[in-house]
A = this chain, B = another copy of it.
Amino acid sequence: MVDHVLEVLKSCSLLSGLPEAALREVAPLARVRPFRANEVLYQRGEVQSALSVVGAGNVRIGSTNAEGREIMLTLFEPGAWFGDTVFSPGMPRVFGATAHTDGELVEVPGQDYRALLARYPEAYPRTLDMLSRRLWSAISIIEDNALRDMPGRVGRRLLFLAHMHAPQRGPGPVTFKLTREHIANMMGMTRQGVHGVLKTLEQRGLIRFSYGRITVPDLDALKAYLDERTG
């Protein structure tokens, strides 16, 4: 069991700055939490903090507003981490997490994680780097949303997800398990609006889609198209 936890922790980019000995130390403190599709894992506003690493399955990050409208920020795959409030103890979570498929989470209590970092300070630079890259991503999204039209935004977001899911993949198609509604929730659009945009992109051969599934056959082609239609 601990072996399994250790494997998950090792797969997490945030923790890869820590020596294996350190990961062995925390592994027994971590909790394995299996989940089923659409289960709510965390809600926006919770104060309790833990570092969560996706061990299996997919997790949607986002939140729901008072009117019941959902906003989805991103979709995480195994190896991804979230719960950035571990770095700001006492802050409420800005977003919630919902299971997108069945899977499991490995949760390291916030204080254990922080204590570990204090004991292995050589891991700090890597940790700062990871956080700063995440900030970089968030700002890119803000820029895209401000400067691009709907097709541009949707395309950029798909590219973003693709890169996140497989940073060093070679050429080849990437498929997401996303409905039109999910995409609408990511972009602040409606299901019908997304429909039109996807149809446009499909006509240009940049994406393909079937029920609940979207495929980008060629990331570079999509990127080239997007770059061309706005600096």
Contacts and interface: CB of A to CB of B under 8 A. Distances in A.
A137 to B, nearest CB: 9
Contact of A87 (B95, B128, B143): B128
Contact of A146 (B71, B94, B134): B71
Interface residues of A, number: 43
Contacts of A29: none
Nearest to A187: B146
User: How many copies of this chain does one complex carry?
Assistant: 2
Interface stretch (A16-24, A119-127, A158-166, A209-217): A119-127
A124 to B, nearest CB: 4
B66 A135 contact: no
A67 B230 contact: yes
Dominant SS among interface residues on chain A: helix
A135 B231 contact: no
A96 to B, nearest CB: 11
A140 interface: yes
Given A69-B147, A88-B128, 14 more contacts: A66-B231, A71-B143, A71-B147, A73-B142, A84-B136, A85-B132, A88-B132, A117-B125, A124-B124, A128-B131, A135-B135, A135-B138, A145-B145, A146-B187
Q: Please name the 4 residue pairs, one residue from A and one from B, whose CB atoms are nearest each other, closest first.
A: A66-B231, A146-B188, A138-B138, A87-B132
